[in-house]
Amino acid sequence: MEANLPLVSIIVPVYNVEKYLPQCLDSLINQTYRNIEIICVNDGSSDTCSKILDEYANFDGRIKIVNKKNDGVSSARNNAITISYGDYLLFVDADDSTDIHTCETAVTQAEKLHCDVVMWGYISESSGRSDNRAVFDKTVLFESDDVKKRILRRLFGLINDELAHPESADSLCPVWAKLYSASIIRENKIEFIDLKEIGTYEDGLFNIEVFEHVKRALFIDEFLYHYRRDNTDSQTTCYRDDLYEKWLHLFDLMELQIKRKGFGNEFYSALQNRIALSILGLGLNIISANRSGVKKRSALKDIVSSKRYQQAYKKLTFNYFPVHWKLFYFCAKHRLIIGLYYLLLVIKRIIS
């Protein structure tokens, strides 16, 4: 470790990713910024991940291995944060990889501009295809009120012209592709909530807690993270039969946060839009279930007919939607279940 340079703790939760783990670790040990510690939390993997980790740790002493019984990605990350020593934290998923210049680029900017968080774009990769993805279309520095208005509020949901791209509702959510000041996380005792409670969006809730305390943040117009979409065992691709109930709890937690912090009407509108738009994620989850079309359509009808979703659709503005999304959310709002069902089948096919 180099005492004159900030230390970066790279946190890698590992669970049954033997096929991808070497590529991830290679991208980390070859970082051009050398003052790093790599904390790999083996979350009860039953494949050869443990052997791979041991081999890399023997080769590079900066790798620390934590072996624990399986308890999910949130627990693994929280465990790593507890034992980390870094001035900065960087999260990397073990089935992904990152550009070898990532740490150097991010730390340089964080130190130069005194940023609490540095963010960047990513490359979405699947089946030989790659697409550049970014939340913002240029390098931008956010200060004080801008952090709250343009980042924190967006973590609750989209509003106004942001609705032109409803598929990007969660593009700001991931904790990967971000460098965090460790002091903000430690001093405010920020942790990841268990997915068993909320289904998904643990990264989003974590970032909501973080950005409440951020004074200055930077987005760099570079694509430094490689996000793998073709891992069929990933948490984001598996069917979950209780996702709807867990998302209702997630929305409750977000609404409570708005009330507790006094964030105001714009944040509440953003959350209502998140609820309305979430029929896309819930619908794709239902379509993936091993059940009859009749039962799938019945499940869709129950969701869009619920009081919470009907309230959200009453306030959803269609002005900014492209034509195909207008049609999709028109079907959801007016409970046109057959149309909604077949549109979901088309979307599923396109994604696949």
- pLDDT digit string, tens, across residues 96-110: 999 999 999 999 999
Q: What is the mean pLDDT of residues 77-85?
A: 98
Question: What kind of fold does domain 8-135+171-228 have according to CATH?
Answer: Spore Coat Polysaccharide Biosynthesis Protein SpsA; Chain A (3.90.550)
In this structure, what DSSP letter does residue 267 have?
Answer: H
User: Which residues on neighbouring strands pair with residue 36, listed in sequence order?
Assistant: 8
pLDDT at 238: 72
Residue 232 scores a pLDDT above 60: no
| Torsion angle (degrees, nearest 10) of CA 167, 173, 176, 182 | 170
**pTM score above 0.75:** yes
Give the β-pairing of 8-14 and 36-43.
Answer: parallel
pLDDT in tens, 187-203: 999 999 999 999 999 99
Q: Which amino acid is at 81?
A: I
Tokens (6 digits) for 286: 């239902």
pLDDT in tens, 169-189: 999 999 999 999 999 999 999
Give the β-pairing of 63-68 and 36-43.
Answer: parallel
Q: How far from 192 is each of 203, 279, 330, 344, CA to CA, in Å? A: 7, 24, 35, 31
Residues of the chain with CATH 3.90.550.10: 8-135+171-228
Q: Which of 93-97, 163-167, 211-215 has the lowest mean pLDDT?
A: 163-167
Tokens (6 digits) for 142: 């956010």
Q: What is the mean pLDDT of residues 58-67?
A: 98
pLDDT in tens, 267-311: 999 999 999 999 999 999 999 999 999 999 999 999 999 999 999
Q: Around 6, how many Cα atoms within 13 Å sit in the side-chain half-sphere?
A: 24
